[in-house]
Amino acid sequence: MRFDPPLEEGRLVKRYKRFFADIETASGPLTIHCPNTGSMLNCLNPGGRVWFSRSDDPKRKLKGTWELGETPHGRLACLNTGRANGLVEEALRAGVIGELAGFTELKREVRYGEENSRADFRLDYPGESVFVEVKSVTLGFAGSPVAAFPDAVTTRGAKHLRELAALARQGMRAVLVYCVNLNGIEAVRAAEEIDPAYAAALREAKAAGVEVLAYGVDITPEEVRLLRRLDVLE
């Protein structure tokens, strides 16, 4: 996924009210949209470099969107969680995710389950369909190659795990894909210290037959690409 037009660079001042970030740019201070709805734990680095895209949509109040940032631990992170589905779709179509190769059709935002959920993707194969949920991972730790999810309590994430588990129990193929949007990561784990209910739901989903995959990205200010399989730790 290349950034076109190219991203612009600034320095983070602060994030506030969840969806706002103040930055300093070469042309002066600017307030941009923060599209990350999580806590951004261990991602916020006041004074660190950030990269943002601009929109010429006249209806937008904030013309800039925060895309990338330097974490306090020196990693680059893709902080726009809305990019995760696009990165995974790009990788699916390119055959990067070998476990899901060979589909004949890809559909987005498909309704499923008893709790009125929407699967990020439904992949159709001869004789079966596979439901895929994608989660963006940005929680890293100093000196560790292991990232964690979630960075805040997520009842929605636990709901998706229940829905996937129900599909798996019915004999259908259900897959959770962690899109790890941090450079320098080799594995992913559940952040049980943050959300024990999510960690328990993940264990139950695995026991029911849900496949859990993690793929890492390569991040530069010019491009973000999903490239390689990562370990998923118990």
Q: Domains in the chain, start-ordered, CATH in brackets?
A: 8-78 (2.40.50.580), 83-232 (3.40.1350.60)
Roughly how many angstroms between the first and final C-alpha of the chain, as a whole number? 30
pLDDT mean over 142-170 = 97
List the one residue out of 184, 202, 194 whose CA is nearest residue 135.
202
pLDDT mean over 11-38 = 96
- Burial, 119: exposed, middle or buried (Cβ in 10 Å; 0-12, 13-18, 19+)? buried
Question: Residue 218: its pLDDT value, please?
Answer: 97
- pLDDT tier at 234, thresholds 50, 70, 90: confident
pLDDT digits (tens, 9 = 90+) for 63-99: 999 999 999 999 999 999 999 999 999 999 999 999 9
DSSP type of residue 170: T
Question: Residue 168: its pLDDT value, please?
Answer: 97
The C-alpha atoms of residue 209 and residue 164 are separated, in whole angstroms, by: 9
The C-alpha atoms of residue 71 and residue 66 are separated, in whole angstroms, by: 14
The C-alpha atoms of residue 11 and residue 39 are separated, in whole angstroms, by: 19
Strand 146-149 vs strand 187-190: parallel, antiparallel, or unpaired? parallel
Question: Residue 179: its pLDDT value, please?
Answer: 98
Residue 199 pLDDT greater than 90, yes or no: yes
Give, to the nearest 10 degrees, the angle between helix 196-208 and helix 155-169. Answer: 10
- Burial, 143: exposed, middle or buried (Cβ in 10 Å; 0-12, 13-18, 19+)? exposed
Q: What is the overall mean pLDDT for the chain? A: 96
Beta strands in the chain (DSSP E): 8-16, 20-25, 28-33, 49-54, 64-70, 76-78, 105-112, 117-125, 128-137, 146-149, 173-180, 187-190, 211-219, 224-232
Whole-model pTM? 0.96
pLDDT digits (tens, 9 = 90+) for 115-138: 889 999 999 999 999 999 999 999
pLDDT digits (tens, 9 = 90+) for 164-194: 999 999 999 999 999 999 999 999 999 999 9
Question: Residue 110: its pLDDT value, please?
Answer: 96
Q: Is 163 helix (H, G, I), strand (E, B) or coil?
A: helix
Burial per residue of 42-58, b for 16 or more beta-carbon CB atoms within 10 angstroms, e otherwise: bbbbeeeebbbbeeeee
pLDDT mean over 53-72 = 94
Q: Is 95 helix (H, G, I), strand (E, B) or coil?
A: coil
Residue 114 pLDDT greater than 90, yes or no: no
pLDDT mean over 9-36 = 97
